[in-house]
Amino acid sequence: MSLPVVEITDLALAYRRTRHRVASLKQVAIDSIKRKVAFEQFFALSGVSFTLERGEVLAVIGRNGAGKSTLLKTLARVLPPTKGRVIVRGHVAPMIELSAGFNHELTGAENVVLYGSLLGRSPKEMVNRLGEIGEWAGLLEHLDIPLRAYSSGMIARLAFATATDAIPDLLLIDEVLSVGDADFREKSATRTASMISGGSAVVLVTHDLETVRNLATRALYLEHGKPIAAGAPDMVIDRYLADLHH
Partner 1 sequence: MMVLSIDDVYDSSIREIPIIGTLKAIYKRRGLLRLLIARDLTLRYKRSVIGIWWSLLNPLLTSLVLYYVFNTVFKARMASGTSFAPYLLSGMLISTFFNQGLTIAADSIAGGAGVLTKVYVPPPIFALSATISTAVNFFMGLIPLTAIVYVSGQSLRLRTPAVVIVALCMVLLTTGLGLLLSLVYIRFDDSRPLVQLILLMLTYMTPVFYPVSVLGPHTRAVIELNPLTSTLNVFRDMFGRNAVATLGDWLYMSGTSVLIFCLGLYFFNRMWPKTVAML
Q: How far is the CB of 170 from partner 1 (least distance, A)?
A: 10
Residue 55 near partner 1 by CB under 8 A = no
- What is the smallest separation between the CB atom of 48 and partner 1, expressed in angstroms? 13
Distance CA 116, CA 218 (A): 29
Judged by CB under 8 A, the stretch of 58-66, 96-104, 149-157, 224-232 that binds partner 1 is 96-104
Cα–Cα distance list, 174 to 76, 93, 94 (Å) = 12, 12, 8
52 touches partner 1 (CB under 8 A) = no
199 binds partner 1 (CB under 8 A): yes
3-class SS at 177? helix
Of the candidate residues 63, 101, 217, 224, the single one contacting partner 1 (CB under 8 A): 101
Q: Does 73 bind partner 1 (CB under 8 A)?
A: yes
Tell which positions 135-194 bind partner 1, by CB under 8 A.
165-169, 194
**Distance set, CA 181 to CA 108, 159, 210, 211, 243 (Å):** 20, 15, 18, 17, 33
| List of residues 6+ apart from 142 with CB closer than 8 A | 108, 134, 149, 150, 154
β-bridge mates for residue 203, sequence order: 58, 172
- CB-CB contact of 163 with 98 (8 Å): yes
Question: Out of 4, 12, 55, 106, which residue is the one contacting partner 1 (CB under 8 A)?
Answer: 106
Quote the least distance from Cβ 223 to partner 1, whole Å: 20
- Interaction of residue 213 with partner 1, rule CB under 8 A: no
**Residues 51 and 6 sit within 8 Å (Cβ to Cβ):** yes
Per rule CB under 8 A, is residue 121 in the interface with partner 1?
yes
217 counts as binding partner 1 under rule CB under 8 A? no
Q: Which of residues 10-29 bind partner 1 (CB under 8 A)?
A: 15-17, 21-26, 28
Number of residues in the chain: 246
Rg (CA), the chain: 20
Positions touching partner 1 (CB under 8 A) are 15-17, 21-26, 28, 73, 76-81, 84-92, 94, 96-97, 100-101, 103, 105-106, 110, 113-114, 117-124, 165-169, 194-195, 198-199
